Amino acid sequence: MAETINQWAVITIILSGIALCVGVYLIRRGLREAHMRAMVTAVTLASIFLVLYLTRLALGYEKKYAGPEEWRLAYFVLLISHIILAAANLPLALGAVWNAWKGLKAAGNLGNIDAPAARGYFNKHRAWVRWTVPVWLYVAVTGWIIYLVLGRWGEVIKGG
């Protein structure tokens, strides 16, 4: 069962990364409503990923690197940077979502985001996403790389 959960976790985080990229593309085109839908999708999929990932760990399913020795250092540098930035990504994403939600609530609708009550929240949202998007993409891409590396050179650790 843990292997299946792991596969679904990978699928959800890949789809989340795609939805994130689509959301960035849409907002750059000025398509606010479509952007919001893409980002709600990205956040929802990332949340499902987190639940699946933590469930998989709770079931004791984990893999360790068993690949070529000359790649070990590079793998662990990638893994450590991934873990640190994944931990940072959650509060970054929450800050971005919080400010967007508060801005939308203050505006009443997406056509009114320049309203004085909403403007500050959307400015904060933009400031948060300048950090959140690159971190989120790095975490997603490095997670995919780690998954592929462990798929080829990973050894399952039997949990207790």
Where are the domains positioned within the chain? 2-158
Residue tagged 């890949």 (tokens): 14
pLDDT tens digit string along 132-143?
A: 999 999 999 999
What is the rounded CA–CA span in Å between residue 75 and residue 12?
A: 23
pLDDT tens digit string along 96-140?
A: 999 999 999 999 998 898 999 999 999 999 999 999 999 999 999
pTM score of the predicted model: 0.89
Output the pLDDT for position 49.
95
Main-chain phi, psi angles of 159, to 5 degrees: -80, 160
CA angle at residue 43 from 114 to 26, to 5 degrees? Answer: 50
Query: Which regions in the chain score pLDDT beneath 50?
Result: 160
Output the pLDDT for position 160.
46
Contact 96, 132 (CB under 8 A): yes
The second-level CATH assignment, the architecture, of 2-158 is Up-down Bundle (1.20)
Main-chain phi, psi angles of 126, to 5 degrees: -60, -40
